[in-house]
Copies of this chain bind each other. A is one copy, B any other.
């Protein structure tokens, strides 16, 4: 598979997070000849928070993780993830697969099953051959090492064209606190093979409830602000583990929150950059909306519009389609107060095309691989920023022909 033209140049060097060990293995869940299961072992005392898909048909794994959130952080913990099969819409059998994997990990690693968290990504509706995973638990446990996070990032890939990692180190009270995260996903765009999964690790010390509140808040400014094609996976999962090994309490620390925000935003952008068929990375900024919710409605209507996305793919500065998307968003809008910019180019204002705008300037701007679309509503103080990619022939190819 060709790597996305929007991919970063290389996988970043991720630091070792004290208290976390990784292993990955080829279990043959669906793929042959590649690693498809990763295990992260977390030392006793690690706080674990998570955010999950809101889908009404979410997978057995997601339901199980959600039920376990907020539990005591006393003993060791584990996260185990397979690619190739999502274990979604697999009925009662799917619940059994999760239970079998959790029981297996608990036994081999000496962990409370309530502290074992699973994710599965891949085809929907096929029973998960979980015995292929449990058969590899001894091998996985024996292979656990502190520095093996890149292998974990590769094992969870499905239609991804590159592994995704991000890191930050922040100094608090004179001591370094490290954050390392990995993700997989080509957007929310292919729930049968391209669910978004995110795992972030830190040696910071923080209570589970504080970590959960922080992750939920930052999620709304990062992963909840990206869209590839508006389709929502049955399995989207973000798990964050704080081992506390640095000894630095980050409760209420703005510096830590900023660093974590940076890591999560970096991973979110990488998911968009690996959007199926993407050739353009697009930031959409909406300001002066009646309120933040309206700004988000407008930004998402633009980001999800097939007409806007195909125009971008064709490098066509078709700003009329942005007007259309503003109009259909449901947000309060006044034609004569609206303005639209491509980067710094003023395109439309006062209810129609700006006198200073030229089609040549717009067309030249659209040749860029990274685009900024700014919409001013002229109504209030509401703002939102979201990120998306274009809609290309390659998207149709990937998704019309996937299973056949």
Q: Contact residues of A with B, CB < 8 Å?
A: 53-58, 88-94, 123-127, 189-192, 229-234, 304-307, 310-311, 313-316, 318-321, 323-333, 335-336, 338, 348, 350-353, 363, 391-393, 395-397, 399-404
In the complex with contacts A89-B351, A320-B192, A234-B403 CB distance below 8 A? no
CA distance A190 to B142 in the complex (A): 58
| Contact A125 B319, CB 8 Å, known A324-B192, A401-B314 | yes
Min Cβ gap A377→B in Å is 10
Q: How far in angstroms is the closest Cβ of chain B from A231?
A: 5
A353 nearest in chain B by CB position: B125
Whole-angstrom distance from the CB of A59 to the nearest CB of chain B? 10
Which chain B residues lie closer than 8 Å to A353 at the CB level? Answer: 89, 125-126
**Contact partners of A90 in chain B: CB under 8 A:** 351-352
Chain B residues, CB < 8 A from A404: 314-316, 363
* In contact, B331 and A56 (Cβ under 8 angstroms): yes
Q: Interface of chain A, helix or strand or loop or mixed? A: loop
Residues on B with beta carbons closer than 8 Å to the beta carbon of A230: 304-306
Cβ contact of A89, chosen from B54, B232, B323, cutoff 8 A:
B323
Complex CA distance for A92 and B127, rounded to whole angstroms: 61
Give the residue of B232, B329, B351 whose beta carbon is less than 8 angstroms from that of A324: B232
Of listed A88, A89, A91, A191, residue having the most chain B CB within 10 A: A89
Q: Which residues of B contact A190 (CB under 8 A)?
A: 307
Asked whether A58 lies within 8 Å of B89 as measured between CB atoms, the reply is: no
- Minimal Cβ-Cβ distance residue in B for A332: B56
Q: B327 contacts A58, CB within 8 Å?
A: yes
A56-B333, A88-B323, A231-B328 provided; 13 other pairs, C-beta below 8 A? A57-B324, A89-B323, A90-B351, A91-B350, A92-B336, A94-B351, A125-B323, A125-B352, A189-B307, A232-B324, A233-B324, A314-B399, A314-B401
